[in-house]
């Protein structure tokens, strides 16, 4: 076991992690731990764009952006956070451009903007051009630009280090962060990183669904590490199902396709979104579009022999526009489906895409231990965090924005904390939990296989906790997850080695997914209303009286050692907007 | 409201509904330093839908047959660049290669990319590759005051370096280069592509320095125009063309139309609208249209070369990675 | 550690290999040629003797091979110059290679009589 000492440790080298690193490395001695290499992070898969009220193309301002964000989140958004997001968006985009990001340009040479789902002018009047983009590779360009600037600033990376535990030590009755414990993939060694401040930027949890746009590595490691140490997870029941993922594969086709004029059609060729969202149509909020697609499918108007998907029609757009603005997704259609988007419509279905919930933080990125208490020295930013700036549903182009705004804020805050505070003593045997877990899995002779359990989990989640949920389906999920967690105790791995043992890590990641799936299902069961991405067929309306509040889930360990989920609630911060009926 | 008639989409879906599984043999080059110093081939037979990806096949093997098979992967759709490997003798991304496209009737050979040390099975040491990338100063360098809003850039200027922005650092190009196989000190196509991306970015001011870095015995002159890189690139970047442009820039020192000029506020109409004034060359800071851009001074370039010590490779970030 | 399979390159890689092989062969030929021509300084008879040994059918075949190597190296060399200096060069490299090969074949057919005619006459009579 090795022990390292750093002022600030950042877990995750995606957009949020690297944006935080760029700030914190200038102010404190920083190390970034990532289970991949920085440029492999899933920020790179984001396509559509980054929203900011630059008003380069048409009139716009941050207050309209704030309103759209709040409405998009179905009024579960903490409005102070949304205001900060929208206000700081402009600088966030300009900062990236100054760092070198090659945005698409207007004829005037300024950053070009395009329409995107849910973004409107004047509180929903009509779609507005707010999304700053780089072809359909905005995420890739952001990731590359941030990595380039990390290289420039000399940021120190520990690549292929999996953070498996968060160390919390009680000092003067307050739980403080002491550091993290990580597993080095190349050698199998355990490392303890003692740090004054820790920032989690480790991404989402999409891999507990089967049809998902998420990478194989998005297994909720950050959320699980904090949750297991008794910290709460907020709003875990809210998961976004992006309307346009490639049929059966889940590969994302950006909302920007609809922003460029693409249209969703059912088997009769009808532009069905006109029925569900008369004003914004195909550019309504993502949860609205996903539900509309599934409604069409359920009512027998789906396409294909099994009627299990609809079409994204780009055929009426000029080929030059597709080549210039949507080159990557047209290539996906050609490569993975063998069809030609110039002339053929693309089969799509909703795909599990984004976790609105996560580690609760305040607007400075400080992690909360409960509704009011902050955990000193612990921060989170990006998809892993829940500020909550996306509420019950995230608008497109707000995540690339979120990671930059809150990545920067938490980077500065964590570095400042490190400058002003001292190290917390490491607990006795800090690596014990990780060592025990690793050795148990390595030496286990159990009969269960990781891949089988994972597939069963994914199929259950897809069937029971996806776009449409009912009490029955969620209960089925809860039971199935409990069964899988029992069986997980008997899981074993084939690879018993120390070097590059990805078999072992997949087993550990499955454990994370099971814990988080349980939290999600239990939270969903308790929320007897429909809001944003969480839609209950048995409670189809939004209930602002009883449920306009955030869910906070805690891990309770019973006397017999078994653990369960305890739910609590946190009020929503409202500043400007009172909840209204959400129509697009 | 065009109703799509029996299109390729319909036919594809019908085929998918009746999709046959076929038996495919994967011949994988295994290497586990904890067991033996020798690498060897191992065959695996699986049932798979030919429309699936090689990566799906590898996962099937790992999850159902042999959990010790080790490979890198993440996004599974050609964006992250983790899973570059040699498939049937050519560098490709495992997640972008469909089984039906690579002669599945014969055994499909899968091995690690060449030129980088194999750590285990299909995992190689990427550190030398990333070091070469860091050595070309792959970040925007600007001088003087920052503008209040964004730096202006015309659509043509943006287009100039668009191709090389696509690089995902998968190493398929560099590890397909015979020069690189022979000598790992060569910068390699990927590093040169990323240098190109900045040299030809009108906002960047360090083009000279980067050219000097590449003007080295291990730099751009090692390229023998073998074109393996261009063929291997999963993003379709014209790598050899980019390398050629860097070579020509070194010779002619002509690479950026907007050198040394920065704009604040609204763009002068002549520059970006490509109007008659721009074409006539009357207004100097015009865009690519006018090739009679004044070249950089030999004196400055010469001093830069001397400053660089004739081929130093400054290191930048400290990256402690697994190997 | 052994390298595994041979890399399956395409036109670019194979033309590079051929360019290098022909280059090396031409180099060794030149080496021999400089030496044998230098014999002139020793004595004209020595030179004549050596050159006489070249007048066999096998050497004629070797000469044909030499012509092949030189022609390919020269034509491909022009292609390499185009790839290096012409802005459309890299994009058209495959087409240019096919052009090189076609011209090379034509020229090699044309060279059959001049290079091998004498040797053929000797072997097979008139």
Residue B245's domain is classified under what CATH number?
1.10.1060.10
In the prediction, which pLDDT does B255 show? Answer: 57
Is residue A6 within 8 A of residue A176, CB to CB? The reply is no
Q: What is the mean pLDDT of residues B89-109?
A: 96
Q: Are A438 and A544 part of one and the same domain?
A: yes
Q: Are A449 and A561 part of one and the same domain?
A: yes
**Phi-psi category of A354—alpha, beta or left, where left has phi over 0 and alpha has psi -120 to 50?**
beta
Residue B258 — very low, low, confident or very high, per pLDDT cuts 50/70/90?
very low
Q: Answer yes or no: is A399 a known binding residue.
A: yes
Is residue B102 within 8 angstroms of chain A, CB to CB? Answer: no
Within a domain: residue A214? no
Residue of C nearest to B115 (CA): C3
In the prediction, which pLDDT does B278 show? Answer: 35
Is residue C100 within 8 angstroms of chain B, CB to CB? Answer: no
B247 CB neighbours in chain C (<8 A) are 84
> Which residues, numbered 6 to 25 in chain C, qualify as contacts with chain B under a Cβ-Cβ cut-off of 8 Å?
6-13, 16
Q: What is the mean pLDDT of residues A467-478?
A: 96
Q: Determine the Cα–Cα distance for residues A451 and B282; give it in Å rounded to an integer.
A: 68
**Each residue's pLDDT tens digit, C40-74:** 898 999 999 999 998 888 899 999 999 999 999 99
Is residue C80 within 8 angstroms of chain B, CB to CB? Answer: yes
For A75, which DSSP code? T
Higher pLDDT, A234 or B5: A234
Strands A190-200 and A2-11 come out as: parallel
Is residue A39 within 8 A of residue B84, CB to CB? The reply is no
CB contact under 8 A, C91 and B238: yes
Instruction: Indicate the number of domains in chain A.
Output: 2
CB contact under 8 A, C1 and B227: no
Query: What SS3 class is residue B111?
Result: strand
Is residue B174 within 8 angstroms of chain C, CB to CB? Answer: no
Residue of A nearest to B14 (CA): A305
> Which residues, numbered 38 to 67 in chain B, qualify as contacts with chain C under a Cβ-Cβ cut-off of 8 Å?
39
**Each residue's pLDDT tens digit, A284-301:** 888 899 999 999 999 999
CB contact under 8 A, A344 and B7: yes
Q: Please state the separation of Cα A480 from the chain's center in Å.
A: 24
B167 CB neighbours in chain A (<8 A) are 144
In the prediction, which pLDDT does C28 show? Answer: 96
Within a domain: residue B313? no
Out of A99, A104, A494, name the one closest to residue B66 (CB). A494
Among A32-46, A410-424, B94-108, B285-299, the minimum mean pLDDT is found in B285-299
The b-or-e profile of A139-177 (16+ CB within 10 A means b, else e) is bbbbbbbbbbbbbbbebbbbbbbbbbbbbbbeeeeebbb
Q: Are B140 and B256 part of one and the same domain?
A: yes
Residue B135 lies in domain: 127-307
Tally of CB atoms within 10 A around A475: 13
Is residue A228 within 8 A of residue A515, CB to CB? The reply is yes
- Catalytic positions of A are 286
Q: Determine the Cα–Cα distance for residues A330 and A340; give it in Å rounded to an integer.
A: 8
Is residue B142 within 8 angstroms of chain A, CB to CB? Answer: yes
**For residue A100, pLDDT beyond 90:** yes
- The residues facing A177 across adjacent strands are A168
Residue A454 — very low, low, confident or very high, per pLDDT cuts 50/70/90?
very high
B228 CB neighbours in chain C (<8 A) are 7, 9-10, 12-13
Tally of CB atoms within 10 A around A65: 28
Q: Answer yes or no: is A205 a known binding residue.
A: no
For residue A300, give the CATH number of its domain: 3.90.700.10
CB contact under 8 A, C5 and B86: yes
Size of interface A-B (CB pairs under 8 A): 234
Query: What SS3 class is residue B46?
Result: strand
Is residue A511 within 8 A of residue A488, CB to CB? The reply is yes
CB contact under 8 A, B7 and A39: no
* Domains in chain C: boundaries: 11-124
Question: For residue B22, what is the enclosing H or E element?
Answer: strand B22-30
Residue A345 lies in domain: 244-352
CB contact under 8 A, C16 and B231: no
Q: Are A440 and A317 part of one and the same domain?
A: no
Q: Answer yes or no: is A13 a known binding residue.
A: yes
Q: Residue A286: name the closest of A11, A48, A56 by CA.
A: A48
Q: Please state the separation of Cα B231 from the chain's center in Å.
A: 12
C10 CB neighbours in chain B (<8 A) are 227-228, 231
Within a domain: residue A416? no
The pTM for the full model equals 0.90
Q: What is the mean pLDDT of residues A1-7?
A: 96
* C abuts A (3+ Cβ pairs < 8 Å): no
Is residue C97 within 8 angstroms of chain B, CB to CB? Answer: no
Is residue A268 within 8 angstroms of chain B, CB to CB? Answer: yes
Residue of A nearest to B134 (CA): A151
Q: Are B142 and B206 part of one and the same domain?
A: yes
Out of B88, B109, B228, name the one closest to residue C13 (CB). B228
Residues with Cβ within 8 Å of B193's Cβ and at least 6 positions away in sequence, in order, are B164, B167, B173, B237, B239, B242, B243
Q: Determine the Cα–Cα distance for residues A515 and A531; give it in Å rounded to an integer.
A: 24
Is residue A315 within 8 angstroms of chain B, CB to CB? Answer: yes
Q: Answer yes or no: is A463 a known binding residue.
A: no
B79 CB neighbours in chain A (<8 A) are 44-45, 140, 328
Within a domain: residue A499? yes
**Each residue's pLDDT tens digit, B21-80:** 999 999 999 999 999 999 999 999 999 999 999 999 999 999 999 999 999 999 999 999
Within a domain: residue A155? no
Is residue A241 within 8 A of residue A351, CB to CB? The reply is yes
CATH 3.40.50.720 fits C11-124, yes or no: no
The torsion of the CA quartet A128, A285, A352, A383, rounded to 10 degrees, works out to 60
Question: For residue A163, what is the enclosing H or E element?
Answer: strand A161-171
The b-or-e profile of B200-222 (16+ CB within 10 A means b, else e) is bbbbbbbbbbbbbbbbbebbbeb
> How close C47 comes to chain B (CA, Å)?
39
Terminal alpha carbon distance of chain A: 56
In the prediction, which pLDDT does A358 show? Answer: 97
Q: Are A461 and A554 part of one and the same domain?
A: yes
The b-or-e profile of A407-439 (16+ CB within 10 A means b, else e) is bbbbbbbbbbbbeeeeebebeeebbebbbebbe
Cis peptide bond N-terminal to A388, omega within 30 = yes
Is residue A51 within 8 A of residue A442, CB to CB? The reply is no
Residues with Cβ within 8 Å of A157's Cβ and at least 6 positions away in sequence, in order, are A13, A31, A32, A33, A34, A38, A150, B317, B318, B319, B320, B321
Instruction: Indicate the number of domains in chain B.
Output: 2
Q: Determine the Cα–Cα distance for residues A344 and C105; give it in Å rounded to an integer.
A: 44
**For residue B12, pLDDT beyond 90:** no
C93 CB neighbours in chain B (<8 A) are 225, 227, 240
- The residues facing B25 across adjacent strands are B45
- Which site among B227, B228, B229, B252 would you substitute to test the C interface, given the most C Cβ atoms closer than 10 Å to its Cβ? B227
Q: Answer yes or no: is A38 a known binding residue.
A: yes
Q: Answer yes or no: is A383 a known binding residue.
A: yes
Q: For chain C, give the DSSP string.
A: ----SPP---HHHHHHHHHHHHHHHHHHHHHHHHHHHHGGGT-HHHHHHHHHHT-SHHHHHHHHHHHHHHHHHHHHHHHHHHHHH-TTTGGGHHHHHHHHHHHHHHHHHHHHHHHHHHHHHHHH--
A333 CB neighbours in chain B (<8 A) are none
In the prediction, which pLDDT does B7 show? Answer: 65
Out of A186, A251, A494, name the one closest to residue B67 (CB). A494
Q: Determine the Cα–Cα distance for residues A549 and A360; give it in Å rounded to an integer.
A: 13
Within a domain: residue B321? no
C76 CB neighbours in chain B (<8 A) are none
In the prediction, which pLDDT does B265 show? Answer: 33
Is residue B70 within 8 angstroms of chain A, CB to CB? Answer: yes
Q: What is the mean pLDDT of residues A201-219?
A: 96
Choose one of A304, A329, A352: the last residue of a domain.
Answer: A352
Out of A111, A216, A344, name the one closest to residue B9 (CB). A344
Is residue B7 within 8 A of residue A345, CB to CB? The reply is yes
Q: For A489-558, where are the alpha helices, taking DSSP H only?
A: 502-526, 544-547
Q: Determine the Cα–Cα distance for residues A293 and A263; give it in Å rounded to an integer.
A: 12
In the prediction, which pLDDT does A269 show? Answer: 92
Q: Determine the Cα–Cα distance for residues A284 and A127; give it in Å rounded to an integer.
A: 9
Q: What is the mean pLDDT of residues C26-37?
A: 95
Q: Determine the Cα–Cα distance for residues B193 and B199; give it in Å rounded to an integer.
A: 10
Is residue A185 within 8 A of residue A202, CB to CB? The reply is no
Residue C3 — very low, low, confident or very high, per pLDDT cuts 50/70/90?
low
Question: For residue A569, what is the enclosing H or E element?
Answer: strand A563-571
Choose one of A336, A352, A368: the last residue of a domain.
Answer: A352
Tally of CB atoms within 10 A around A448: 16
Tally of CB atoms within 10 A around A199: 35
Residue B318 — very low, low, confident or very high, per pLDDT cuts 50/70/90?
very low
CB contact under 8 A, B178 and C16: yes
Q: Answer yes or no: is A353 a known binding residue.
A: yes
Is residue B89 within 8 A of residue B101, CB to CB? The reply is no
B118 CB neighbours in chain C (<8 A) are 1
Angle at A463 between CA A462 and CA A466, to 5 degrees: 55
Choose one of A310, A335, A352: the last residue of a domain.
Answer: A352
Q: What is the mean pLDDT of residues A329-349?
A: 92
Report ipTM for this prediction. Answer: 0.94
Tally of CB atoms within 10 A around A455: 13
Is residue B225 within 8 angstroms of chain C, CB to CB? Answer: yes
Q: What is the mean pLDDT of residues A332-339?
A: 91
For residue A439, give the CATH number of its domain: 1.20.58.100
Question: For residue A11, what is the enclosing H or E element?
Answer: strand A2-11
Residues with Cβ within 8 Å of B137's Cβ and at least 6 positions away in sequence, in order, are B195, B198, B206, B209, B210, B213, B314, B316
**Each residue's pLDDT tens digit, A116-159:** 988 999 999 999 999 999 988 999 999 999 999 999 999 999 99
Chains touching A (at least 3 CB pairs under 8 A) are B
**Each residue's pLDDT tens digit, B175-207:** 999 999 999 999 999 999 999 999 999 999 999
Q: Determine the Cα–Cα distance for residues A142 and A148; give it in Å rounded to an integer.
A: 10
Q: Are B167 and B271 part of one and the same domain?
A: yes
Tally of CB atoms within 10 A around A315: 19
Q: Are B117 and B212 part of one and the same domain?
A: no
User: Residue A276, CB half-sphere, CA atoms under 13 Å: how many?
Assistant: 21
Q: Determine the Cα–Cα distance for residues A286 and A292; give it in Å rounded to an integer.
A: 10
For A570, which DSSP code? E
CB contact under 8 A, B168 and A39: yes
Out of A40, A249, A451, name the one closest to residue B74 (CB). A40
Within a domain: residue B239? yes
Is residue B228 within 8 angstroms of chain A, CB to CB? Answer: no
**For residue B310, pLDDT beyond 60:** no
> How close A486 comes to chain B (CA, Å)?
20
Q: Determine the Cα–Cα distance for residues A250 and A260; give it in Å rounded to an integer.
A: 21
């Amino acid at each position: 076991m090795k022990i390292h000492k750093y002022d600030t440790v950042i877990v995750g080298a995606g957009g949020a992690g690297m944006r935080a690193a760029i700030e914190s490395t200038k102010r404190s001695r920083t190390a970034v731990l990532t289970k991949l290499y920085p440029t492999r992070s899933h920020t790179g898969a984001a396509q559509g764009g980054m929203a900011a009220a630059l008003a380069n193309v048409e009139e716009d301002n941050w207050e309209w952006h704030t309103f759209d964000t709040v409405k998009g989140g179905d009024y579960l958004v903490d409005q102070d956070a949304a205001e900060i997001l929208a206000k700081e968006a402009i600088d966030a985009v300009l900062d990236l451009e100054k760092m070198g990001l090659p945005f698409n340009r207007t004829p005037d040479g300024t950053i070009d903007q395009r329409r995107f789902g849910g973004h409107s002018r004047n509180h929903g009047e009509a779609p507005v051009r707010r999304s700053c983009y780089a072809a359909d590779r905005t995420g890739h360009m952001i990731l590359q630009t941030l990595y380039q600037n990390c290289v420039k600033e000399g940021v120190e990376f520990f690549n292929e280090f999996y953070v498996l535990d968060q160390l919390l030590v009680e000092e003067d009755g307050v739980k403080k962060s002491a550091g993290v414990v990580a597993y080095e993939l190349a050698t199998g060694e355990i490392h303890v990183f003692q740090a004054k401040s820790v920032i989690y930027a480790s991404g989402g949890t999409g891999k507990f669904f089967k049809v998902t746009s998420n990478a194989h590595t998005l297994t909720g490691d950050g959320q699980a590490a904090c949750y297991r140490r008794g910290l709460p997870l907020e709003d875990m029941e809210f998961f976004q199902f992006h309307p346009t993922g490639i049929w059966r594969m889940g590969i994302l086709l950006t909302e920007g396709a609809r922003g460029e004029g693409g249209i969703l059609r059912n088997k009769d060729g009808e532009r069905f979104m006109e029925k569900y969202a008369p004003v914004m149509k195909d550019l309504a909020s993502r949860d609205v579009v996903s539900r509309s697609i599934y409604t069409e499918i359920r009512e027998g108007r789906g396409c294909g022999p099994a009627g299990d998907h609809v079409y994204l029609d780009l055929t009426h757009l000029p080929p030059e526009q597709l080549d210039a603005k949507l080159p990557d997704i047209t290539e996906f259609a050609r490569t993975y489906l063998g069809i030609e988007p110039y002339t053929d419509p693309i089969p799509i279905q909703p795909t599990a895409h984004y976790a609105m919930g996560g580690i609760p933080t305040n607007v400075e990125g400080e992690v909360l231990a409960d509704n009011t208490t902050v955990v000193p020295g612990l921060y989170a930013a990006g998809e892993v965090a829940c500020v909550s700036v996306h509420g019950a549903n995230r608008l497109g182009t707000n995540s690339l924005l979120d990671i930059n705004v809150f990545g920067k804020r938490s980077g500065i805050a964590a570095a400042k904390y490190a400058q002003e505070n001292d190290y917390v003593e490491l607990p006795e045997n800090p690596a014990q939990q990780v060592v025990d877990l690793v050795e148990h899995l390595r030496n286990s002779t159990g009969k269960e296989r990781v891949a089988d359990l994972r597939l069963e989990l994914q199929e259950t989640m897809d069937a029971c906790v996806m776009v449409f949920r009912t009490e029955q389906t969620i209960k089925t999920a809860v039971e199935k997850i409990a069964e899988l967690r029992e069986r997980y105790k008997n899981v074993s791995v084939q690879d018993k080695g120390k070097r590059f043992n990805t078999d072992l890590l997949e087993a550990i990641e499955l454990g994370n997914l099971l814990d988080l799936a349980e939290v999600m299902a239990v939270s969903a069961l308790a929320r007897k209303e429909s809001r944003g991405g969480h839609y209950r067929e048995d409670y189809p309306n939004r209930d602002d009286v009883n449920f306009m509040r955030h869910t906070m889930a805690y891990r309770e360990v019973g006397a017999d050692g078994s653990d369960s989920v305890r739910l609590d609630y946190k009020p929503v911060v409202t500043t400007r907007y009172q909840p209204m009926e959400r129509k697009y | 409201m065009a109703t799509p008639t029996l299109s390729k989409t319909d036919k594809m879906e019908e085929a998918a509904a009746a999709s046959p599984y076929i038996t495919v043999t994967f011949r994988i080059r295994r290497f586990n330093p904890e067991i033996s110093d020798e690498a060897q081939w191992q065959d695996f037979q699986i049932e798979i839908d030919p429309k699936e990806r090689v990566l799906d096949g590898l996962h099937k093997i790992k999850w159902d047959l042999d959990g010790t098979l080790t490979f890198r992967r993440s996004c599974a759709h050609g964006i992250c660049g983790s899973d570059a490997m040699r498939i049937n003798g050519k560098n490709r991304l495992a997640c972008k290669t469909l089984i039906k496209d690579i002669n599945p009737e014969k055994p499909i050979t899968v091995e690690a990319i060449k030129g980088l040390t194999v750590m285990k099975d299909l995992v190689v040491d990427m550190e030398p590759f990333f070091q070469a990338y860091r050595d070309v100063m792959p970040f925007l360098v600007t001088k003087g005051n920052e503008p209040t809003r964004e730096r202006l850039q015309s659509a043509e200027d943006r287009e100039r370096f668009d191709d090389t922005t696509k690089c995902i650092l998968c190493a398929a190009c560099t590890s397909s280069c015979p020069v690189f196989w022979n000598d790992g000190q060569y910068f390699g196509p990927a590093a040169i592509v990323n240098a190109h991306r900045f040299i030809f970015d009108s906002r960047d001011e360090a083009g000279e320095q980067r050219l000097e870095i590449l003007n080295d015995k291990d730099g751009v002159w090692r390229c023998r125009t073998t074109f393996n890189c261009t063929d291997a690139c999963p993003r379709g970047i014209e790598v050899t063309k980019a390398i050629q442009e860097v070579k020509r820039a070194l010779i002619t020192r002509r690479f950026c139309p907007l050198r040394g000029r920065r704009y604040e506020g609204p763009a002068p109409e002549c520059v970006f609208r490509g109007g008659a004034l721009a074409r006539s060359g009357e207004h100097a800071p015009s865009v690519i249209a006018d090739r009679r851009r004044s070249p950089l001074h030999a004196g400055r370039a010469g001093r830069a070369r001397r400053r660089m010590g004739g081929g130093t490779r400054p290191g930048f970030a400290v990256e402690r990675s697994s190997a | 550690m052994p390298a595994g399979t041979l890399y399956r390159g395409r036109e670019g890689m194979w033309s590079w290999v051929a360019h290098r092989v022909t280059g090396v062969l031409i180099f060794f030929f030149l080496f021999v040629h400089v030496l044998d021509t230098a014999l002139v300084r020793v004595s004209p008879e020595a030179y004549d003797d050596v050159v006489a040994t070249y007048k066999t059918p096998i050497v004629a075949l070797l000469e044909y091979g030499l012509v092949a190597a030189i022609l390919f190296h020269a034509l491909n060399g022009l292609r390499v110059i185009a790839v290096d200096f012409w802005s459309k060069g890299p994009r058209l490299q495959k087409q240019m290679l096919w052009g090189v090969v076609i011209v090379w074949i034509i020229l090699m057919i044309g060279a059959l009589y001049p290079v091998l005619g004498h040797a053929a006459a000797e072997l097979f009579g008139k």
